[in-house]
Structure 1
Amino acid sequence: MDSNISRPLLLQPGQRLARGVCRHLRSLDFATIEEFVPSPGLRVDVLALGPKGEIWVIECKSSRVDFLSDQKWHQYLPWCDRFFWAVDSAFPAEILPEDSGLILADDYDAAILRMGPQTPLAPARRKGMTQKIARHAAFRLHMLRDPGLSVSL
């Protein structure tokens, strides 16, 4: 048996937050994709597609330094209906912008403490994003079945 198969994944702090966020959003009937690229040069930690087609972006921050070094988060806003920060209970939440959503998360679950303001996407952008999300998810699933596949995400 390959020893890599039996070892648990070693997740970084932000990835552990993302896992808890994704679990919680699944309980709300959202489908999630981690590390999604809405546009060249941007990579969001979690993108969530809701049951009514709503698109949320969640950025996971594991420390003050992690948050302060993030200069791109404003560029994510045109790609979603709502934007959230996900942090753990030790994070100094008072440094986060109040005009964005807030999710408290751990490795296994999360709770939405503050909804981000709703800024609906234009219909053409929503359609393009929904198609991109579907294709991205299909390619990831295909890569699980065929690990040697070369797909550019």
Structure 2
Amino acid sequence: MTLVSIANNNPLIDGRQSARAMLVRRGLQILLNDMRHAALPELVLANGRRADLITISEKGEIWIIEIKTSIEDFRVDRKWPDYRAYCDRLFFATHKDVPLEIFPGDCGLLLSDGYGAHLMRDAPDHRLPPATRKSVMLNFSRVAAQRLTMAEWATGKSFDEI
């Protein structure tokens, strides 16, 4: 009984993400699901930046994971420090063809192959202020619920047809 379709008109696969980035994201999502994190891709934050992947753990810890698929991708994108204000832990994620030493040591590091991912380096903990935590949680919850509704409506089926 499928209620959700990810096929046509998916706003989370809008052409800005490369096939390699989608592969990395898929592996991360598998690992994070196993870790019992709720993960939401492409969430726009209060500062207008868009997090590649934001997660909430069972304990309410908020992680942001920035996906980088090449050395050049990392070099040209200098907005990642702006994500720190919206998470308890900040990570980079990549694949085997990117040298891991290019990533800053004060961020966590994940390595993905599309079928899973490995935590190569944990991220330091910098707890969010309560007001920011509440704001991020509300944004996460509202966007996740809206996306679920849109995905359900995109099936074009009523509950009688399922």
CA apart distance, 1:40:
4.3
Per-residue CA deviation, residues 51-89 of structure 1 (Å, 9 max, x unaligned), is 011000001111001111111000000000000000111
1:16 corresponding residue in structure 2: 23
TM-score by length of 1: 0.87
The answer for the alignment partner of 2:4 in structure 1 is none
Q: Give percent identity, aligned residues only.
A: 38
Q: How big is the shift at 1:16?
A: 1.1
Give how far 1:145 is off.
1.5
Alpha-carbon displacement from aligned partner over 1:21-44 (angstroms, at most 9, x marks no partner): 111011010000011111243011
Q: Work out the number of aligned pairs and report it.
A: 141
Q: 1:39 and 1:128 mapped to 2: Cα distance?
A: 8
- 2:108: which partner in 1? 101
**Equivalent position amino acid for 1:93 in 2:** L
Q: Over aligned residue pairs, what C-alpha RMSD do you find?
A: 1.8
1:151 equivalent in structure 2:
none
Q: Which residue number corresponds to residue 63 of structure 1? A: 70
In structure 2, what is the Cα distance between the partners aligned to 1:15 and 1:42? 19
Structure 1, unaligned runs of 5 or more: 149-153
Are residues 1:135 and 2:151 paired? Answer: no
Separation (CA, whole Å) in 1 of partners of 2:35 and 2:68:
22
Question: Quick one: distance in 2 between partners of 1:131 and 1:117?
Answer: 24
TM alignment of 1:136-151, pairs within 5 A: 136-147=143-154
- Give 1:13 deviation, angstroms: 0.9
How far, CA to CA, are the matches of 2:133 and 2:47 in structure 1?
Answer: 17
Q: Does 1:114 align with 2:124?
A: no
Aligned-pair CA distance for 1:138? 0.2
1:95 CA displacement? 1.0
**Residue 91 of structure 2 is aligned to residue 91 of structure 1:** no
**Matched residue SS, 1:126:** helix
Point out 4+ residue stretches in structure 1 off by more than 4 angstroms: none
The one-letter code sitting in structure 2 at the alignment partner of 1:62 is T
| Distance in structure 2 (CA, Å) of the matches to 1:113 and 1:23 | 16
Q: Find the aligned partners of 1:102 and 1:145 in 2 and give their Cα distance.
A: 34
